[in-house]
Every structure is written in structure tokens, then in C-alpha cells.
Amino acid sequence: MGDDERTLAIEVGDDVGEVPAVLRRPDGATATVVVAHGAGAGKDHPFLTGFCRALGDLGVATVRFDFPYRVAGRRFPDRPPVAIATWRAVMHAARAEAAAGEAVWASGKSFGGRMASMAVAEGMDAAGLVFLGYPLHPPGRPEKSRDEHFPRLVGAPMLFLQGRNDPFAIPNEQLDRLVAGLAPSAVLKWVEGANHSFEVKGAKRPAAEVGAGLAPRVAEFVAAHARPAPRAAPATRHP
């Protein structure tokens, strides 16, 4: 963990207990992005640490956290009710750390992003959603589309970053259609040649560098959807 990061212990509930999180908050942060990991790796995977560090360098605070199954040492991800409860608790903690009026976004790699979208569809407050490889369906099973909750997200700012060669989004046209139905608030950015981990064949890079490479697009999207500051009331003129 870097010198500019600090740990948080976030209470989820009596049946779950606490989950660990790491806050990185640069001076003058303009927004906070909460980042959840994918099914096969935790909050300290180099992809996520590189992504969060790069966002911090761009003036965006981040909170990355572990789901309860990682804390318990289990292999299989939590069921949606537990994952959604965890998302709610972490977002509440992130808002408590943010400046007054600061936008707090929900983001996640694969499973983490999907659970974020389900939480928002069930009423969790978020300024918007950022998906780092949305798992639209199991590999090779496009008929098992995981998009039933998206009609409840129409109007929410959403950024989909997706690898062209991601087996969770082949055929690509299926994700194209989903995002087109959510426009204009949803934007899809394809990463040419990239797989589900955003690795490009023939262009080997460390996972931290791969994650960091996505940060500028996310920071730009977050900045473009910043809520305008309230305008000051005009001064009263006296004769």
C-alpha cells in the first residue's frame, strides 16, 4: 500500500461483518470513484491498484474494497443480496470521506461492475457507473444475457470499457445494442484487440500498467458529467 493511501474497515451488517477497503484521496480531488474487483481477484490485484493510482494522479479519489467472500477465503463470489449490501455499505462510507457535494461513482471489474449496476437498479445512489469489462453473458453463451436490470438504469451516466476480444462480450454487437438502448447517457468504448483482462495479444504489459491505461478515459467521463456548481444569487442593488 502506498504512503498516500489509508485503510478503512467498513461494517456491512451483522450477518457479514466488516470488509476492508483502501482510500486514496489526492489533494483537491474532484470526485470519488468506488472500485470493486472481479470474481477471481481481490482489491489489491495490480490491475486495480494501477487503475486507482492513475486515477489519483488525475485528481480523482478512489476507494477499492473486498467482497465478503474474499475476506472469508472462499473461492466463489457472494450471491447478489450480499454483494449489493456490501456495495451499499461501501458507498455510504465513501460519501462520508468525500467533500460536501462531491460526486461519488460506482465502478467495477467484471463481477464487481455487474453487482454495482444491480445495486443502483435497486436504488443505491451513485453519480454514475463505470464498467471495466462488463460480463454480459458467460463465455460462449450469448443467450444467457445478464442485462435484465438495465432498463431501470436508463438516464444514469454509464461508461462501458470493453475489450473487442472479451469472450464475455462476443458477439460485440450484443453489447452495442444494449448500450445503444441506454443512450445518450451511456457510452461504450471498445479497446481493440483486448481480452477480458484488457490484455492485447503481442503487446505484453504488466497488469498495473494495463489498469492505469484505462484511467484517463474514466477521469474524462467523470469530469464531463460533473454536476455544475450552484450559481450564486445576484447581489441586491439598493437605490
Q: DSSP labels for 203-217?
A: ----HHHHHHHHHHH
The pLDDT confidence band at residue 2, using thresholds 50, 70 and 90, is low
Average of per-residue pLDDT across 157-164: 98
Measure the CA–CA gap between 35 and 90, rounded to whole angstroms. Answer: 10
Decide if pLDDT at 231 tops 70: no
CATH number at residue 210: 3.40.50.1820
Task: Kindly state the cell numbers that stand for 107.
Answer: 465502478
pLDDT in tens, 101-125: 999 999 999 999 999 999 999 999 9
Decide if pLDDT at 3 tops 60: no
Q: DSSP labels for 119-139?
A: HHHTT---S-EEEES---SST
- Does any domain span residue 230? no
- Does any domain span residue 124? yes
Q: Are strands 158-163 and 186-191 parallel, antiparallel or unpaired?
A: parallel
- Does any domain span residue 229? no
Task: Give burial (CB, 10 Å; 0-12/13-18/19+) of 18.
Answer: middle
- Does any domain span residue 189? yes
Average of per-residue pLDDT across 188-197: 97
Q: DSSP labels for 146-162?
A: --TTGGGGTTS-EEEEE
Count of domains forming the chain: 1
Structural domain range at position 121: 5-224
Average of per-residue pLDDT across 10-38: 94
- Does any domain span residue 147? yes
Q: Are strands 31-36 and 103-109 parallel, antiparallel or unpaired?
A: parallel
- What HEC string does 1-51 produce? CCCCEEEEEEEEECCCEEEEEEEECCCCCCEEEEEECCCCCCCCCHHHHHH
pLDDT of residue 25: 96
pLDDT of residue 229: 40
The mean predicted confidence, pLDDT, of the chain is 92
- Does any domain span residue 234? no
Q: What angle do CA 49, 53, 56 make, to 5 degrees?
A: 145
DSSP state of 192: T
Decide if pLDDT at 131 tops 80: yes
The pLDDT confidence band at residue 136, using thresholds 50, 70 and 90, is very high
Task: Kindly state the cell numbers that stand for 10.
Answer: 467498513
Task: Kindly state the cell numbers that stand for 49.
Answer: 491498484
Output the pTM of the full model. 0.92
The pLDDT confidence band at residue 234, using thresholds 50, 70 and 90, is very low
Decide if pLDDT at 219 tops 50: yes
220, containing H or E segment: helix 207-224
pLDDT in tens, 6-21: 999 999 987 889 999 9
- Does any domain span residue 106? yes
Contacts of residue 108, Cβ cutoff 8 Å, sequence gap at least 6: 35, 36, 37, 38, 114, 115, 116, 130, 131, 132
- Does any domain span residue 69? yes
